[in-house]
Amino acid sequence: MIYILAGDIRTGKTTALREWVDTWDNVKGILCPDNKEDIRYLHNIESKENFPLQVPEVGEKTISVGRYHFLEDSFNLANYFLIKTFDEYDFEFLVLDELGKLELNNQGIHQATKYIVDQYKSNDDKNLLLVVRTSLVNDIIAHYGIKSFQIVAKEMLP
């Protein structure tokens, strides 16, 4: 099943996911939480490693959306992690946090999302959890051609 965790900006979607991950035995993927300075970083759920993602200023290898600037190499790493994890097919849930404006412009984790959604076959044992802000849910569904899915709120995670 493809689950879409929908919620508005800054409403605790990723925080809820961090707690939810601990209730399952085999959740993999990436989270993009904020640190104490409200700077986003990339968190590999399986290895528990953290990688820089957001930077304060535009640089040579950054991608910007609005006033936020992200390291292109971190997205490359996230795409690699996600595709590799999907291909290994050893997960109960594969989490992709978060699909947004970058992905709608074929940036960010678009490469992995497209590959995974295109290859995914609904399976009782293997689930995808896509994190999307409420205002972009319909656009993300259309962009990736997602046909069968269930929308959930953070309070109703499976």
In a domain, 158, yes or no: no
In a domain, 122, yes or no: yes
Handedness of CA 91, 135, 35, 84 (dihedral sign): positive
Percent of the chain having pLDDT more than 70?
100
In a domain, 77, yes or no: yes
In a domain, 98, yes or no: yes
- Tell me the whole-structure pTM to 2 decimals: 0.95
Dist CA 40 CA 53 (whole Å): 6
CB 120 within 8 A of CB 20: no
CA distances from 84 to 22, 38, 49, 134, 158 (A): 22, 29, 16, 28, 24
Dihedral class, residue 29 (left if φ above 0, else alpha if ψ from -120 to 50, else beta): left
Query: pLDDT tens across 91-117, in order?
Result: 999 999 999 999 999 999 999 999 999
Cis before 98? omega within 30: yes
Helix or strand or coil: residue 70?
strand
The count of structural domains within the chain is: 1
In a domain, 156, yes or no: no
pLDDT of 9 strictly over 90: no
Domain that holds residue 131: 2-151
pLDDT of 124 strictly over 80: no
pLDDT of 79 strictly over 90: yes
In a domain, 54, yes or no: yes
CATH code for the domain in which residue 10 is found: 3.40.50.300
In a domain, 20, yes or no: yes
CB atoms within 10 A of CB 17: 25
User: 103, 106, 107, 105: which is closest to 130 by C-alpha?
Assistant: 103
In a domain, 6, yes or no: yes
CB 7 within 8 A of CB 135: no
